[in-house]
Structure 1
Amino acid sequence: MRKGTHLSRYGRLHSLRNLTLPNETKARSFKDLPSTSKTLQDVPGPKGIHNLPFVGSALEMYPYMKNRDSHLYFLELYKKYGTMVRIRLGPQNCLILFDPELISQTIAHEGIYPERFPVPIMDSYVKRTHRCMLSQQNGPEWQSYRSAAQQSIKPNVIKQYVESQAQCAEDLVTWIGIHGNNNPKVKDAFRRFSADANSVVTFDKKMGFLASLEKPVPELEHFLHSIQQFMDSIGESIFSLPWYKFWRTKTYMEFENATETVYRISGKSIDAVRHELESQERESYTDESDLTVLKLLLRDERITNEIVTNLMAAFVFAGIEQVSQFLMWMFWLLGKSPEKQEKLYQEILTNVGSSAPTASHLGYLPYLKACIKESFRCVPPLATGIARILPKDTEIGGYLIPARTTIFFGNNTLSRAGELFEDPEHFLPERWLEGTKDPQTQRLMGLCVLPFGIGKRNCLGRRFAEQEIHLATIKILQNFIVEITEDCQNVRPKYTMFAEPDTPIKFNFTRRPC
């Protein structure tokens, strides 16, 4: 067996059935359906009481949800029913796919305006407040906002933030050097680093979240608490009966208050940048190439000031928690794999040295990118994976699936598929290096690990999140050898919104010799 960190997350998967399927999927109408054709009702899945509307899946899932082991529920569905599974979600029959080719087929038919599975509590919030949340938008309206944002987030614009975000990473290194050893607050420090690096983009300045850890600033602490409450409320709402649709429950009110707080504080910071931009434009012509993402959006006549605030808040909500959780898990994996950590350090030493990383450095670190991809494989951020709502009747895997069916991708389970990942229980970044696998296998592997989504509705802030991860990793490994404490060797992920450790992860950071 090849050397690598052993990760017994839930044991080896059963063999993937029908792994390689034809790439072509036909969109057909039910009126054209032969009497012998199979439909969604024929897809294997829970039966009897577990197939009742609303209560069926809830009864079956409850023991897993109670222990925050929802990922194990989806693994059991795969073992029991195969690569396509039908389950009840509320009144609807939904589909879960545990096959990368089936995922590819579904994405090929996501339509002009791909539709995500809406987060129910966010849906209720939008209906009550009439606020535009990008993640809940669909159709041409979603496309207009998305296009405006994409035109502002170009590679040459993203590179403008490397220096300021590298300074945020330097601040993190300073904090680690003083406070990091055997300290469970490292997770919070990662979170605050991400918030600072994120605010450089969303608010055009570093807000000082990391500094506030030692000398608290009430408004910044309230802002971070509200982001955490936002995530916690979503996690709680997903696995409980949706009473919040009918009245403002305690969970709903916590969600609404947290969301409004983030919008209010975000709006205040964005208003300051808007006034600055207006002043600049009154005094002289402003070259568009010198503008930040925020100023480009504020200048865009297609979107209102409210939409700009909502877009920036979406970066905040989506980015901070996922980046910070990921950094914790990746350094846990590197701490358990000193030989992989040393290999990564040598790549950084060769290509960056001891200097501050620049935009040009980030394009020549293939092993770092492999470590990131492998970390997402070993600890997927979500209990299932992303989801799509079919825009029209579509044949998938031999079954005709009706329009408006929600399809979940079983990425958490697929990330340990032994047929695609040799030694799936081990941390082996080398598997992602170019040329180690044939192109078809690499394609299928990539479809199993989708932390930032796929297709037209992939994560809008992906490049910024990756840049934050790259800079933090480079700066930390330039300065420290990272080890995990003995009591953290066998940590396991638990799932609410994102993967969290079942016990706090603690590190020892040994300063590298100058």
Structure 2
Amino acid sequence: MAFINSLSSLSSYHQILFAALALVIPSLLFFLTRNRKHGKPNLPPGPPGWPIVGNLFQVACSGMPFFMYMRDVLIPKYGPIFTVQMGTRTTIIISGSDLAHEALIEKGQIFASRPKENPTRIVFSCNKFTVNASLYGPVWRSLRRNMVQNMLSPTRLKGFRDVRDNAMDKLIDRLKSEADANNGTVRVLKSARYAFFCVLLTMCLGLELDEEMIEKVDDMMKTVLLTVDPRIDDFLPLLSPFFYKQRKRALQVRNQQLELLIPLIKRRKMALQNPGLDKNATSFSYLDTLFDLEVEGQKTAPSYAQIVTLCSEFLNGGTDTTGTAIEWAIAEIIDNPRIQSKLYEEIKSVAGDRKIDETDLPNMPYLNAFSKELLRRHPPTYYTLTHAVVEPTTLGGYDIPLNSSVEFFVAGITNDPKLWSDPEKFDPDRFLSGNDDADITGVKNVKLVPFGLGRRICPGLGMASVHVSLMIARMVQEFEWLAYPENSKVDFTETLEFTVVMKNTLVAKIKPRV
């Protein structure tokens, strides 16, 4: 999740007012003197801010979530590239397709790094020892190469087909049980998210865990995500002494994470060393690739703490994003009965009365068009993961300095009327017209960016596409999805949690297909 995505969690005007009063008086003279001595870069334009605190006041006092303030206030005024100063963080927002292509494709190597993280995130990322967080360089290359080649290749993904089938069967049974107990109604996100987590947990650890342990690990992953949410001292580091308790709590959570996951890691290692000892262990897992992984610039294999970090990244990276996508998918299916009918008709024509299988997915053009439109209309996050440049450069005629945070506003591209006709309409048919030139990798053009672009594009793109399409197909094949209460309209109001979710969790009514 992009760091910028969580800015709306800054709790109150009073926090920032306190920060300003604590800093502005002793620091103002230093700030003004420094800027007289050093020439300013030609940054993209942006709203004027106060010394030291920058634009934190505008964000906190707007009464709007950060993404909404950018979309509704700043983009209409400043255009597709502008600067906001969030305390000590210089943040450059990009919402234009051409600029995104220039940065992430044409100048991909220059824009391929990450900005420095707050101290709490450093604790959980083992000093940026992850695919997503690592700086552009040898560590990143080693970790990404291992994940893509040894875990997320098409061949490896096919090896976990039975795991996905089993999880989909359990999902259907779970939905049926929930509906039986609640007058035919179900909460979509909770069940979908749990199913994805079970798949990823098996792929990651290679162990069959009971439901109690699965929930313990899931709860721990959620706690970690909450713990690394930004605080005011992330933007104004001089305030860090006031947040001692929060840092202490973060270390406690990290220790709890290690205490929970390291025994499972050791259990898998024992199973590899003693085949047959753990009868329910899978033949391969992501964890297996980490024990003796050679990382450029590191003389030893990853430590247990580093392995915990890499496993946590694998689990968190594909759970909430895909679970959220399914909730939006079912909402659109309920809101558009014609679309639901077309999906079901295609499933019947391809699979008949047998259970739909992931090998059927390439032969389902309408389902694939639906999945593309889902990612266009409801991308999992408002922003890609934060980028940084490896050297000072320019973009759109403006300077992009080192240590600035470069944010790509996804919705500014996927809802651009210059790129899409009637962009507010959910219409899978736009991808069946024969004029579909949207390249999800961004090499040809930048119109769809749910997985990022360029060198830092999400390595789990292929896995996520299979997971989302397969679950949609199974859920539509098994059930007719209806609004609840009957004849009500779906509320598409969105909000930010770990991903972009429905503000009011979707409760739907299901009827088993005859």
Q: Does the CA contact (< 8 Å) of 1:488 and 1:506 recur in 2?
A: no
Q: Does the CA contact (< 8 Å) of 1:482 and 1:510 recur in 2?
A: yes
**How many angstroms apart in 1 are the aligned matches of 2:255 and 2:327?**
28
**How many angstroms apart in 1 are the aligned matches of 2:133 and 2:170?**
35
Q: 1:232 aligns with which of 223, 226, 233?
A: 226
Q: Does the CA contact (< 8 Å) of 1:354 and 1:478 recur in 2?
A: no
**How many angstroms apart in 1 are the aligned matches of 2:235 and 2:392?**
29
Which amino acid is 1:83 matched to? P
* Most deviating of 461-470 and 422-431: 461-470
**Residue aligned with 1:400, SS:** strand
**How many angstroms apart in 2 are the aligned matches of 1:485 and 1:239?**
43
Q: Does the CA contact (< 8 Å) of 1:97 and 1:103 recur in 2?
A: yes
Superposition pairs of residues 105-254 of structure 1, within 5 angstroms:
105-107=102-104, 108-111=106-109, 114-120=112-118, 122-125=120-123, 132-138=129-135, 139-153=137-151, 154-180=153-179, 183=185, 185-208=187-210, 212=211, 217=212, 219-235=213-229, 237=231, 245-246=240-241, 249-254=244-249
CA shift digits 1:423-474 (9 cap, x unpaired) = 1111112223472245799969962432222222222333333222222212
**How many angstroms apart in 2 are the aligned matches of 1:433 and 1:263?**
48
**TM-score, normalisation: structure 2:** 0.79
**Residue aligned with 2:189, SS:** helix
Shift of 1:504: 2.1
**Residue aligned with 1:426, SS:** coil
* 1:269 equivalent in structure 2: 264
**Residue aligned with 1:388, SS:** coil
Superposition pairs of residues 35-114 of structure 1, within 5 angstroms:
41=42, 43-47=44-48, 50=49, 52-53=51-52, 55-63=53-61, 68=65, 70-107=67-104, 108-111=106-109, 114=112
**TM-score, normalisation: structure 1:** 0.79
Q: Does the CA contact (< 8 Å) of 1:69 and 1:494 recur in 2?
A: no
* 1:511 equivalent in structure 2: 512
Shift of 1:325: 1.5
**For the structure 1 residues 60 and 113, does the alpha-carbon distance in structure 2 shift closer, same or farther, using more than 3 Å as the test?**
closer
Shift of 1:410: 1.5
**Residue aligned with 1:347, SS:** helix
**How many angstroms apart in 1 are the aligned matches of 2:185 and 2:236?**
38
**For the structure 1 residues 62 and 173, does the alpha-carbon distance in structure 2 shift closer, same or farther, using more than 3 Å as the test?**
same
Shift of 1:269: 2.3
**How many angstroms apart in 1 are the aligned matches of 2:233 and 2:170?**
38
Q: How many residues align?
A: 457
**How many angstroms apart in 2 are the aligned matches of 1:417 and 1:506?**
30
**How many angstroms apart in 1 are the aligned matches of 2:120 and 2:190?**
26
**For the structure 1 residues 331 and 263, does the alpha-carbon distance in structure 2 shift closer, same or farther, using more than 3 Å as the test?**
farther
**How many angstroms apart in 2 are the aligned matches of 1:433 and 1:238?**
47
* Most deviating of 422-431 and 129-138: 129-138
* 2:28 equivalent in structure 1: none
**How many angstroms apart in 2 are the aligned matches of 1:39 and 1:420?**
35
Task: Provide the alpha-carbon RMSD of the alignment.
Answer: 3.3
Which amino acid is 2:221 matched to? I
**Residue aligned with 2:268, SS:** helix
Structure 1, unpaired ranges of 5+: 1-37, 283-289
Q: Does the CA contact (< 8 Å) of 2:112 and 2:456 recur in 1?
A: yes
**For the structure 1 residues 172 and 42, does the alpha-carbon distance in structure 2 shift closer, same or farther, using more than 3 Å as the test?**
closer
Which amino acid is 2:205 matched to? F
* 1:500 equivalent in structure 2: 501
CA shift digits 1:5-57 (9 cap, x unpaired) = xxxxxxxxxxxxxxxxxxxxxxxxxxxxxxxxx9853522101xx2533x222
Q: Does the CA contact (< 8 Å) of 2:187 and 2:508 recur in 1?
A: no
**Residue aligned with 1:231, SS:** helix
**Residue aligned with 1:135, SS:** coil
**Residue aligned with 1:146, SS:** helix
Shift of 1:119: 4.7
**For the structure 1 residues 435 and 258, does the alpha-carbon distance in structure 2 shift closer, same or farther, using more than 3 Å as the test?**
farther
Shift of 1:179: 0.8
**Residue aligned with 1:157, SS:** helix
Q: Does the CA contact (< 8 Å) of 1:392 and 1:404 recur in 2?
A: no
* Most deviating of 136-145 and 484-493: 484-493
Q: Does the CA contact (< 8 Å) of 2:110 and 2:389 recur in 1?
A: no
| Bigger relative CO (Cα 8 Å, ≥ 6 apart) | 1
**For the structure 1 residues 207 and 121, does the alpha-carbon distance in structure 2 shift closer, same or farther, using more than 3 Å as the test?**
farther
Q: Does the CA contact (< 8 Å) of 2:333 and 2:340 recur in 1?
A: yes
CA shift digits 1:198-245 (9 cap, x unpaired) = 11201114535xxx4xxxx2x433322222222233445389756685
**How many angstroms apart in 1 are the aligned matches of 2:271 and 2:371?**
38
**How many angstroms apart in 2 are the aligned matches of 1:70 and 1:418?**
19
CA shift digits 1:98-129 (9 cap, x unpaired) = 211111111132327921345525444259x7
**How many angstroms apart in 2 are the aligned matches of 1:141 and 1:75?**
39
